[in-house]
A and B are shown apart, each in its own frame.
Chain A
Amino acid sequence: MFQYWLIWPAVLVILLIGLFPILYTLMVSFQNINMLEEDRSFSGFMHYAALFRDLRLWQALGHTLIFTCIALPLELLLGLAMALLFVDRMPGRQVFVALLVLPTVISPIIAGATWRLLFDNRFGPINQILGWLTGEPQAVLWLVNPNFVYPAILLAEIWQWTPFMFLLLLAGLANVDPSQLEAAEIDGAGWWRTFFQIVLPAIRPVLAIALLIRGLDLFRLFDVVWALTKGGPGTMTETISIYAYVQGFQQFETSYTAAIAVLIIVLLSILVVAALKRMEIAR
């Protein structure tokens, strides 16, 4: 009995917030509620059919995929390079690592706000530094110009989360069996061969976890984009989370947003299952 007394309060709270509202959303998605009317009768798959005709929704999904497919590999490679740089002992290493952690623990919305100040075309240092490098004053409108808005958001995103990859991979590298590395050195294996044949297989589980956590985070990308552009210019950088927010809390399309939420849950479940399967196979 004791074991159930311990667990039921937690399960109850999770159900209250995790399960009950999602079932309620499922119900609302079959009704017709928006700013103008509140029709609670069953209206079938009307909103789900509308999802497929909604170009802006699929574009938002596309933007999310662009962010994910560019940021995830870059964060991984940069984080790995940094981990390799710091894996061997060097005096003062702890200080460097402690400083490198900082971006990852800042609130993402604050990170976005910070980069918005940095990207300012007149009072920000980025155009100033670019001016030094190019030898002439620069006034790039980073967050308005369609050519630069993606690189700008990606830079902020990569700045914040590369240290996350770095920390995990540094821990992974530190756990590689040193006797194997010594054996490789005695056998005369070069750096690249040692890396691909011993180090990489050894850190594979850590790599998989880091990619899974960051991949899920990127799929729900909201804060940084919201702080920098709110999805603009136009809807150019709108992610799926931002689009759902706009539909639900600015357009008040309650039932339609419920359908979007259900779509996101379904897509995410497929992604997670596929990712877990792949990781099983890779192992």
Chain B
Amino acid sequence: MSAMTAPASSWQRRERIRLAWRYLGAVLVTAFFVFPIYWLVMISFKTPAEIFASPPTWYPASLQFANYAVLFKDGDAVTVWNSLVVAGVSTAAAMLLGTMAAYSIARFRTGGDNLAIWIISQRMAPPIVIVFPVFLFYVWLGWVDTFLGLIVLYTAFNLPYVIWMMRGYIEDIPLELEESALVDGCTRLAVLWQVVFPMARAGLFATAVFTFVFAWNDFIFALVLTRTNVTTFPVQVTHYFGGQSNFWAKIAAMSTLGTLPIFVAVALLQRYLVRGISLGAVKG
């Protein structure tokens, strides 16, 4: 009996040592990837004296909200609101148009494979190549530095993503459900509204969050197409970098303000994260 347990316990010990090494690795790796975010958030709570201490201090003596208060007092925080409006409205528009198109492609094979591939290829062009012609076009239309202009651009830029992702989610829904609803006398539109949308709810939600994040995080489109009226928060952050000195407190506070909502949103859809960022190629 003891001859049986001896190798087992040594195997157990080896496993335990292996696990300890893995934990060490996990902690070190995670520390490296979280540290810059920690540093950014800490700066936003520091006093000027703590920010400009050399050598730097790793945490503030007490949490100061003054850096945030300044953003609201000076009106800079309105750029976060601008981002919210632009990203929110363009997401709603892209989801509506995109899901309709995705349903058409998924269920009727509209346009065959070529249309689907053409649509996703629109997503691969570098933003600078998209935004330069759009800028010329917008100058002509008078859409530069308007909410409408930015919303239309984000809607168009995100549409291929929505169509591509929603096509995948709709194809996951069993066809029988729709067929039986049609047999029961539902119209096509009613099937879409009462069967497809509820069934694809999780996919709709995940796709909408990613679409929102793309628009929210964008810098180059907003940089080119806005001046002073529709400045979004990423553009505002770059205004705080001066030639000689940087407004550290504002950079940190504005960045934190604009990043925390993203963290919350992404935490809500851990399950769909991999599928979302891999353009549906990896189902997780």
- Among the listed stretches A51-59, A65-73, A160-168, A194-202, which one makes contact with chain B, having 4 or more residues with CB under 8 Å of it? A160-168
Q: B101 touching A6 by the CB < 8 A rule? A: yes
Q: A25 touching B26 by the CB < 8 A rule? A: no
Q: A168 touching B277 by the CB < 8 A rule? A: yes
Q: What is the total of A-B residue contacts with beta carbons within 8 Å?
A: 243
Q: B157 touching A17 by the CB < 8 A rule? A: yes
Produce 1/0 per residue, A2-28, CB < 8 A to B: 111011011101101110111011001
Known contacts A2-B188, A107-B259; A206/B127 CB under 8 A: no
| B contact face: mostly helix, strand, loop, or mixed | helix
Interface status of A128 (Cβ within 8 A of chain B):
yes
User: Cα distance A244–B125 when bound, in Å?
Assistant: 14
Interface status of A222 (Cβ within 8 A of chain B):
yes
Minimum CB–CB distance from A126 to chain B (whole Å) comes to 10
Q: A10 touching B124 by the CB < 8 A rule? A: no
With a CB–CB cut-off of 8 A, which chain B residues contact A131? 55
- Among the listed stretches A39-47, A109-117, A146-154, which one makes contact with chain B, having 4 or more residues with CB under 8 Å of it? A109-117
Interface status of B159 (Cβ within 8 A of chain A):
yes
In the complex, 27 of the A-B residue pairs with CB atoms within 8 angstroms, ordered by the A residue number, are A3-B104, A4-B104, A6-B110, A17-B152, A21-B130, A102-B33, A102-B37, A107-B258, A108-B217, A109-B219, A109-B238, A110-B258, A123-B248, A164-B277, A168-B277, A168-B278, A170-B274, A205-B281, A206-B282, A209-B282, A222-B127, A223-B220, A226-B219, A227-B241, A241-B127, A241-B128, A268-B129
A interface residues with partner B (beta carbon < 8 Å) = 2-4, 6-7, 9-11, 13-14, 16-18, 20-22, 24-25, 28, 82, 85-86, 88, 90, 94, 96, 98-111, 113-118, 122-125, 128, 131, 159, 162-164, 167-168, 170-172, 205-206, 209-210, 213, 216, 219-220, 222-223, 226-227, 241, 244-245, 248-249, 254, 257-258, 261, 264-265, 268, 272
